[in-house]
Amino acid sequence: MTRSDRILALVIGVLAVVAIPLIAAASVQGGDSVVVTGPGGRTVLELGVDRTVVVDGLCGGVVVQVSQGSVRVTDSTCPDRVCVHSAAVDSHGGVIACVPNGVTVVVCGDGERGLDAVVR
Amino acid sequence: MRSSAEVSPRLRTVSTVASRRVALGGMLLVCAVALGLIESWLLAWSPVPWLRLGLANIAVVVALSCIGPRSAFTVSLLRVALVGVAAGTLFGPGTLLAVSGAVCAFGAMVAVRAAGPRFSVVGWSIAGASAHVVGQFVAAAVVTGSPALLSLVPLSVLASLFLGVATGLIARPLISRVMSAA
């Protein structure tokens, strides 16, 4: 590695490290709801209520499971299944995406649900 | 009309060089596709499934160094298309992400390369890996309409630094071998 290579890596690394606390500061701890967005619209689930829903995606169904205060994608029709292999998220700002299906699962706090519907 | 035996030595040399470039480009394309497929299979066992290793970028870095930007760009885009065909994801949103990442990575590598010999292939690779991550997440945020995905960018960029160094270090001896064989 040349000196310029190291400087480039350092600059990119510093920018990324600086961005991490900025994003964390913008987040409020303790999300209480899960916004599932798909091609058919949005669905809001309570993070404290265990529940499993199937969301219609672009290439089939995406199974979203809320369990014990966290949410994960347990099954999907997408080819690479990155969403299924993603870890469960339970804190505000946590996100899981199934891009082939156009479905995202985001943990939100109070006042930012922009409710279309609440599923209980 | 001249027979093939009468072709001037200069023309024959130019033709040979062009043939070698085409052959090398094809070989690197095959390597890029194979590495891309291996990477997609490795995803199932990855602890961080949304983070790509960038193995295919090794072939693109070698192409950029040995056969120039235009041919390397062709290798990069054809690789995305062929992996999409093989994986059955062509024309899906995943291909849009892959194209976005490939174009961003290639643009960053060409920009760093244009800065001259101050940067080695490791520097190109670092820039490419970081730009690839940013391009993919921006495309994913657009496709899904969810800006929340961008919150994953900083951690992914940090990881891409190490992966960029690794792929650059792997590409460097390969470039030396290819150049000495050509």
Per residue in A81-108, pLDDT (tens digit) is 888 888 888 877 788 888 888 888 988 8
Q: Name which residue leads in pLDDT, A52 or A119.
A: A52
Of the residues B53, B146, B169, B172, the best mutation for testing chain A's interface (the one with the most A CB atoms within 10 Å of its CB) is B146
Q: Give A-chain residues touching B46 at CB under 8 angstroms.
A: 85
What letter would DSSP give residue A102?
T
* Prediction pTM value: 0.80
What is the predicted pLDDT for the residue at A120?
A: 43
What is the predicted pLDDT for the residue at A26?
A: 66
Residue A119's Cβ-side half-sphere holds a number of Cα atoms within 13 Å equal to 17
Which whole number is the average pLDDT over B126-144? Answer: 90
Q: Name which residue leads in pLDDT, A85 or B4.
A: A85
| Confidence at B28, pLDDT banded by 50, 70, 90 | very high
Cβ neighbours of residue A106 under 8 Å, at least 6 residues apart?
A34, A35, A37, A93, A94, A95, B146, B148
Which whole number is the average pLDDT over B88-110? Answer: 87
- In this structure, what is the dihedral angle of CA atoms A5, B172, B131, B164, given to the nearest 10 degrees? -80
What span, in angstroms and rounded, lies between the C-alpha atoms of A64 and A54?
6
What is the predicted pLDDT for the residue at A114?
A: 46
Which whole number is the average pLDDT over B159-175? Answer: 92
Q: Give A-chain residues touching B126 at CB under 8 angstroms.
A: 5, 8-9, 12
What span, in angstroms and rounded, lies between the C-alpha atoms of A91 and B30?
43
Neighbours of A40 (CB within 10 A): 11
- Nearest-neighbour CA in chain A from B59: distance (Å): 19
What is the predicted pLDDT for the residue at B5?
A: 55
Which whole number is the average pLDDT over A62-77? Answer: 90
- Nearest-neighbour CA in chain B from A23: distance (Å): 7
| Confidence at B40, pLDDT banded by 50, 70, 90 | confident
Give the tokens for residue A119: 């599923």
Output Rg (C-alpha) for chain A, integer angstroms.
Answer: 17
- pLDDT of B6 higher than 60: yes
- Is A93 in Cβ contact with B149 (below 8 Å)? no
- pLDDT, averaged across chain B: 86
Which whole number is the average pLDDT over B10-31? Answer: 82
What is the predicted pLDDT for the residue at A29?
A: 56
Q: Give B-chain residues touching A95 at CB under 8 angstroms.
A: 146, 148-149, 151-152
Q: Give A-chain residues touching B84 at CB under 8 angstroms.
A: none
- Nearest-neighbour CA in chain A from B100: distance (Å): 14
- pLDDT of B45 higher than 80: no
| Confidence at A118, pLDDT banded by 50, 70, 90 | very low
Which whole number is the average pLDDT over A44-52? Answer: 88
- Is A102 in Cβ contact with B118 (below 8 Å)? no
What is the predicted pLDDT for the residue at B58?
A: 92
Out of B118, B161, B168, closest to residue A12 by CB = B161
Do A34 and A96 form a contact (C-beta atoms < 8 A)? Answer: no
Do B37 and B86 form a contact (C-beta atoms < 8 A)? Answer: yes
What is the predicted pLDDT for the residue at A117?
A: 44
CA angle A97–B104–A20, rounded 5-degree value: 55
Which whole number is the average pLDDT over A25-53? Answer: 81
Q: How far is CA B53 from CA B35, B111, B166, in A?
A: 10, 22, 10
Q: Name which residue leads in pLDDT, B174 or A116.
A: B174
- pLDDT of B95 higher than 70: yes
